[in-house]
Amino acid sequence: MDSKVELIVGDICDRESVKKAVKGIDWVVHFAAESHVTRSEKDPDIFYRTNVEGTKVMIEESIKTGVKKFLMISTDEVYGSIKKGAYKEEDKLPGDSQASSAYAKSKSLADDIAMDFAKQGCPIIVTRTTNNFGPWQFPEKALPRWITNLCIGKKIPLWGEGLQIRDWLFAPENAQAIEFILENGTLGEVYNVAANNMPELTNRSVAEMVCTAMGKEPDEWIDHIPDPRVDHDFRYAIDTTKLEKLGWMPQRDPEKQITQTVEWYTHNQKWWKKRKEEAEKIY
């Protein structure tokens, strides 16, 4: 690990742990969250504890220690699904959300808490981002699960027809956007962060890109299975005009980025194999 990085293991709901972590820090970027939708349906309480209570503790302790900027990572799922067009930042009102899963509802509440503190003058910014992917992502999530399945000779389990639409954003680009917003964003504001892939990407098209990057024939290696999620949100889309006017735009090269991600998982099987065994228990 880089000598400039200090790893502190703790519980974000434990005030003493958080106080130790943020003491002397100027900027806090709050990523910590339970984020797997399927797990949220089985155990919603832990999602409320971590995502809602944990966020409140993080903000309160950061304010007490004099943090100058607190950026909270939220999600496009707080807006809910949308058939046409794209949600703007102002489309989510405090206490109002079309979030459908326990995960999304917990993030919506956390989002509201952050904005409540911001209205009181606390130095807070919120980003709402789309589905991230890239190296180091745990194999419980769709894209790394698909890649690691192919690595071990298993097919990609694609839910339903695979026509659900998600705006896949490369994690390194999200990191760049966050850094840009920290340096240029306005306190008290919300910024949508997305790839704005055009044409829009269905889950099936992303699975096909994974197969192609790994030299597999999609029709042979994609297995359509019944969708286990009731009322599965069909399409997410957010408007990023506000961030673009501020000066940041993504590269929008999903095929290249998926290939880079595939290469990382192919060369780092020792890292993900044990984690995959645990991740598969979710399904």
Which two three-digit tokens encode residue 70? 């607190």
| Segment 68-84, tens digit of pLDDT | 999 999 999 999 999 99
Which pTM value belongs to this model?
0.95
Name residues whose C-beta falls within 8 Å of residue 108's C-beta, 6 or more positions apart in sequence. 78, 92, 97, 99
Question: Reading across the β-sheet that carries 27-30, which strands appear in turn?
Answer: 27-30, 69-75, 124-129, 190-193
Residue identified by tokens 């699975």 is 207
Q: Amino acid identity of 237?
A: A
Q: Which domains, and CATH codes, for the chain?
A: 1-129 (3.40.50.720)
76 is a catalytic site residue: yes
High-pLDDT (> 90) share of the chain, %: 86
Q: How confident is the model at residue 48 (pLDDT cuts 50, 70, 90)?
A: very high
- Our answer to whether residue 265 is catalytic in this structure is no
Q: What are phi and psi of 236, to 5 degrees?
A: -110, 140
pLDDT confidence band for 10 (50 / 70 / 90): very high
**Position 104 pLDDT exceeds 80:** yes
**At residue 245, does pLDDT exceed 70?**
yes
Considering the candidates 61, 77, 167, 233, report the single residue annotated as catalytic. 77
Whose tokens are 């099987």? That residue is 269
pLDDT at 143: 98
The answer on pLDDT for 12 being more than 70 is: yes
77 is a catalytic site residue: yes
pLDDT-derived band at 99, boundaries 50, 70, 90 = confident
Catalytic residue, chosen from 34, 61, 76, 208, is 76
Work out the mean pLDDT of the chain and round it to a whole number: 95
Instruction: Encode pLDDT of 207-228 as tens digits.
Output: 999 999 999 999 999 999 998 7
Catalytic residue selected from 79, 103, 236, 265: 103
